[in-house]
């Protein structure tokens, strides 16, 4: 069974073909084509929705052709067409969804609307054959949340950010430090040569009941420290980056520990902890969560970095998981700028979701 997946929710245009394995768990990525728009947005210090939408239009058709060619399949060999139908920048989401609907209509193949967050949450089943139920930490520029993954389409939000998403905090601090976009990788690199103990930044929500996150106060504390210094020198910048990253890592570990505890109280012991989203590529966060899981006797699944950032393979895989269960959508399905995994959860800001 083969599914074509299209991803256009933010600043990557991506198309992939993924197949299942007969009689086996997991899947095979036959092709995974990604075109990043970082260069187009770098001058603005962040993603400009109009520029992103135009860039998706310019390259999507060619990327579909390339994904099919590199997978060595024809469109007739595809069993279903999946697209990320939200959450995300609505202009981009509409382009991917419209293209997928057009292909489905022209070929008579089923159309599957995939929640972008669900795709990140299910990636561990593609790469590591993880069984339900498990805990997923979804961290990117648009969302930061902990989710109980009980089955396809069955999710319970354990905690979420009440203000900034993790990737948003990384990018804003990077901008304060005069670094380029995206800021996360540059902060991580600078932090390697910095003193993480020089600045005593706050750890918001540490030890609080529940598993919600708050990162706005941490970002403000960094700004105040920069103002005290005046013009940070090279070592100042490295120390600020290291101290900021250490604070975020501490917050994430504490909130994940609390989330796992909430999961265990409601669902029993999870089969593992999964991370997904662009910030999940951060090495310091991965190492800290690896230690946490080792201490807790919990399996830790961190998919390869290229499958944590936005890509078509995870959309195709989520589509395949849904398709195998008979879960398809009609062509009237509307693209969604906001689409929470847990529809019953409300009252907490959690980025694009």
List, in order, residues 6 or more apart from 71 with CB less than 8 Å away.
2, 17, 30, 31
What is the value of pTM for the model shown? 0.93
Q: What are phi and psi of 252, to 5 degrees?
A: -60, -45
pLDDT in tens, 310-329: 999 999 999 999 999 999 99
Assess contact for 318 and 122: CB atoms under 8 A.
yes
Two tokens at 32? 């995974």
CATH number of 131-302: 3.30.420.40
> In the Cβ-directed half-sphere of 143, how many Cα atoms lie within 13 Å?
33
Does residue 349 surpass a pLDDT of 70?
no
The answer to whether domain 2-124+306-324 and domain 131-302 are alike in fold is yes
CATH of 2-124+306-324, one of 3.40.50.300, 3.30.420.40, 3.30.365.10, 1.20.1300.10: 3.30.420.40
Q: Is the pLDDT of residue 37 over 80?
A: no
Domain ranges of the chain: 2-124+306-324, 131-302
Q: Please give the angle made by the CA atoms of 26, 93 and 5, to the nearest 5 degrees.
A: 25
**What number is the average pLDDT over the span 6-10?**
95
SS3 180: coil
Nearest Cα to 54, choosing from 43, 67, 41, 64?
41
pLDDT digits (tens, 9 = 90+) for 26-36: 899 999 999 98
pLDDT band at 170 (very low <50, low <70, confident <90, very high): very high
Task: Report the length, in residues, of the chain.
Answer: 353
Reading the block at residue 156, the tokens are 């319970």
Q: How many other C-beta atoms can be found within 10 angstroms of the C-beta atom of residue 89?
A: 23
Rounded Cα gap, residues 340 and 352, in angstroms: 9
- Residue 23 pLDDT greater than 70, yes or no: no
What pLDDT digit, counting tens, does each position of 94-120 carry? 999 999 999 999 999 999 999 999 999
Helix (H, G, I), strand (E, B) or coil at 155: strand
| Residue 348 pLDDT > 70 | no
Query: Positive or negative CA dihedral for 244, 245, 249, 252?
Result: positive
Q: Which pLDDT tens digit goes with each residue over 49-88? A: 888 899 999 999 999 999 999 999 999 999 999 999 999 9
Query: For 211-220, what is each residue's pLDDT tens digit?
Result: 999 999 999 9
Pairwise CA distance, residues 100 & 312, whole Å: 12
């Amino acid at each position: 069974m083969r599914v074509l997946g299209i991803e256009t929710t933010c600043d990557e245009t991506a198309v992939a073909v993924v197949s299942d394995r007969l009689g086996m768990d997991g899947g095979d990525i036959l092709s995974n084509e990604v075109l990043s728009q970082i260069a187009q947005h770098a001058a603005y210090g962040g993603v400009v929705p109009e520029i992103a939408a135009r860039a998706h239009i310019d390259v999507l058709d060619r990327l579909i052709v390339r994904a099919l060619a590199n997978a060595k399949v024809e469109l007739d060999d595809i069993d279903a067409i999946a697209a990320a139908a939200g959450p995300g920048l609505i202009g981009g989401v509409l382009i991917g969804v419209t293209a997928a609907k057009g292909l489905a209509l022209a070929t008579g193949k089923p159309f599957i609307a995939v929640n972008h967050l669900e795709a990140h949450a299910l990636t561990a089943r593609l790469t590591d054959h993880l069984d339900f139920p498990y805990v997923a930490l979804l961290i990117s520029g648009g969302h930061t949340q902990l989710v109980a993954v009980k089955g396809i389409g069955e999710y319970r939000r354990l905690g979420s950010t009440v203000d900034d998403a993790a990737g948003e905090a990384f990018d804003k601090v990077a901008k304060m430090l005069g670094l380029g976009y995206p800021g996360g990788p540059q902060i991580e690199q600078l932090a390697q040569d910095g003193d993480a103990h020089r600045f005593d930044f706050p750890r918001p929500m540490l030890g609080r009941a529940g598993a919600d996150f708050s990162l706005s106060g941490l970002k403000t504390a960094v700004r105040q420290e920069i103002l005290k210094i005046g013009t940070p020198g090279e070592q100042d910048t490295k120390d600020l980056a290291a101290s900021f990253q250490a604070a975020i890592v501490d917050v994430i570990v504490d909130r994940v520990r609390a989330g796992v505890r909430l999961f265990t109280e409601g669902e029993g012991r999870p089969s593992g902890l999964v991370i997904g989203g662009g910030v999940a590529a951060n090495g310091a966060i991965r190492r800290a969560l690896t230690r946490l899981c080792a201490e807790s006797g919990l399996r830790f699944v961190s998919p390869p970095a290229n499958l944590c950032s936005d890509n078509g393979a995870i959309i195709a895989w989520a589509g395949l998981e849904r398709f195998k269960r008979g879960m398809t959508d009609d062509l009237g399905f509307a693209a969604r700028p906001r689409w929470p995994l847990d529809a019953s959860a409300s009252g907490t800001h959690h980025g694009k979701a």
